[in-house]
Amino acid sequence: MKARLAMLILALLVIASILLFIVLEFREDSVTSGYPKEAISLRVGLLPIIDAIPFIVAEYEDLYAKYGLNVSIVMYGSARDRDAAFMAGLIDVALNDPITTLILADRGVNVRIISLLLGEYPEDGLFYLLAPPGSTISVPRSIAISRNTIIEFAAWHIVEGLNIDPKSVEWIDVPSIPVRFQLLLEGRVEAAVLPDPWGTLAITKGARLIADDRILGVPITISIIIARGDIADIGVMMRLRDALNEALSLYKANPEKYRSIIEEKIYIPEELRGRWLPEWRGSIVDYPRDNFELVKSWLLERALISKPLRYEDLVLVSSR
């Protein structure tokens, strides 16, 4: 009798252990429900700008592994170096903007847009049209920009929002943001367009805000995540998107926690260090068709692309 009881207790203990194992496995799987456990390797190219924040936080919090990804991040000093690495196959994924991406696609680069990154709301990632300190001008006749870039795209649409014909403006090509910033503060240009954090810094130094890209009430200056067409699998890309959105949630909840790593990894002017971090209201979602069409029309009008491009051919859309 005692032997049977011992066997019964042993059997119950074995069953309990199995059930506990199943519960723990379920809990682990529920964290990354729908994601296979094998790690997928991705090489990600970033620039030291605020758009890189979710990638930086995800690495800091080890979130890539949670979603079955093995991500290696490469920082580039310029968009030109990043694009060259992308075209050479040295990176698989990169942050970019729609202007550059559609130009690359028009030139035959095998690229897909896998999601919007920054700019779901107009308030995120602002671009500012600024006049020098002491200036009273409200309708600038000339504006310093960077030609054929997201900066010029922003400038054209801000100016249109002011009911000014962009073709009536003299566009002064100043590709370097620090140089454009300095020319503005010294009053050597009538106006300039600057993104954050340079726009915020210019305002703190007395530059006058004429308008920013919230003027039209819809997102204009959007950054995106791109991938090489041969690796742009929707399942893998959704893993990356979910990891980055979790990182964004952590950042939004406590930006100060990540100040030191952000100030180490991205460029913030010395005067703003310790007292400025960007707000980020939106999430990383599907890249919207209306922005794609807006960018495409602008590029076609300026003959920066040779043919109309199709949203369906370039943009991955989730089924969620």
Assess if residue 31 is contained within a domain. no
Do 231 and 106 belong to one domain? yes
Tens of pLDDT along 104-135? Answer: 999 999 999 999 999 999 999 999 999 999 99
- 81-99 mean pLDDT: 97
pLDDT at 264: 96
Assess if residue 30 is contained within a domain. no
Q: How many domains does the chain have?
A: 2
Do 290 and 254 belong to one domain? yes
Tens of pLDDT along 178-212? Answer: 999 999 999 999 999 999 999 999 999 999 999 99
> Distance (Å, rounded) from C-alpha 239 to C-alpha 64?
8
pLDDT at 25: 46
Tens of pLDDT along 221-276? Answer: 999 999 999 988 889 999 999 999 999 999 999 999 999 999 999 999 999 999 99
To the nearest whole number, what is the mean pLDDT of the chain?
Answer: 90
Assess if residue 4 is contained within a domain. no
Assess if residue 79 is contained within a domain. yes
Do 115 and 135 belong to one domain? no
Please say which residue of 193, 212, 231 terminates a domain.
212
> Distance (Å, rounded) from C-alpha 94 to C-alpha 100?
12
Assess if residue 5 is contained within a domain. no
Do 181 and 308 belong to one domain? no
pLDDT at 29: 45
Q: How confident is the model at residue 36 (pLDDT cuts 50, 70, 90)?
A: low
Do 53 and 102 belong to one domain? yes
Please say which residue of 212, 236, 269 terminates a domain.
212
Please say which residue of 212, 242, 264 terminates a domain.
212
Q: How confident is the model at residue 9 (pLDDT cuts 50, 70, 90)?
A: low
Do 57 and 184 belong to one domain? no
Name the residue range of residue 143's domain.
127-212
- 44-53 mean pLDDT: 97
Query: Residue 69 pLDDT more than 60?
Result: yes
- pTM for the model stands at 0.86
Do 52 and 86 belong to one domain? yes
- List the one residue out of 207, 226, 199 whose CA is nearest residue 315: 226
Do 139 and 283 belong to one domain? no
pLDDT at 30: 42
Query: Residue 7 pLDDT more than 60?
Result: no
Parallel, antiparallel or unpaired: strands 111-116 and 224-228: antiparallel
Question: How does DSSP assign the chain, residue by residue?
Answer: -HHHHHHHHHHHHHHHHHHHHHHHHHHHHHHTTT--SS-EEEEEEE-SSGGGHHHHHHHHTTHHHHTTEEEEEEE-SSHHHHHHHHHTTS-SEEEE-HHHHHHHHHTT--EEEEEE-S-SSTTSS-EEEEE-TT---SS-SEEEE-TTSHHHHHHHHHHHHTT--GGGSEEEE---HHHHHHHHHTT-SS-EEEETTHHHHHHHTTPEEEEETTTTSS--S--EEEEEGGG--HHHHHHHHHHHHHHHHHHHH-GGGGHHHHHHHS---GGGTTT------S---PPPHHHHHHHHHHHHHTTSSSS---HHHHB-----
pLDDT at 27: 43
Q: Residue 173 maps to which CATH number?
A: 3.40.190.10
Assess if residue 178 is contained within a domain. yes
> Distance (Å, rounded) from C-alpha 307 to C-alpha 315?
17
Do 226 and 99 belong to one domain? yes
Do 256 and 298 belong to one domain? yes
Do 98 and 146 belong to one domain? no
Assess if residue 21 is contained within a domain. no
pLDDT at 37: 62
Do 229 and 84 belong to one domain? yes
Query: b vs e for 113-127, b when ≥16 Cβ sit within 10 Å of the residue's Cβ?
Result: bbbbbbbbebebbbb
Assess if residue 71 is contained within a domain. yes
